[in-house]
Amino acid sequence: MITDYSSVSFDFALQNRPVIYYQFDELVENRHFAIDPHDIVGPVVDNQDDVLFALKNALRQEHLTNAQRSQLPENVYMQMDTHARKRLTKAIQKRFEK
């Protein structure tokens, strides 16, 4: 996946798929991101040549080490279970009760 700091990159990384962050916008430093730079799980590139280089590297090797992969859920996701829909429904119902 080649992305500009999308949170979908974490979903890809959890599936051990390569993620390349393409910082093509020079104003990116002045924008607010929901993603903490320390949680980024792939190379950050800022030009087309580096995108191609990172893409070739990603295709040649496994994306994340076992240590990186095991830390990703606890660093990014508050709860890794099968109850997200229940929590969301409960939060919506609670909101409408007000």
For residue 50, give every residue at least 6 positions away whose Cβ sits within 8 Å of its Cβ, in sequence order, or none. 43
pTM confidence score: 0.60
Q: What is the pLDDT of residue 94?
A: 92
Task: Report how far Cα 63 is from the mean position of its chain's Cα atoms.
Answer: 13
pLDDT, tens only, 25-77: 655 555 555 666 666 778 889 899 999 999 988 888 755 666 666 666 666 66
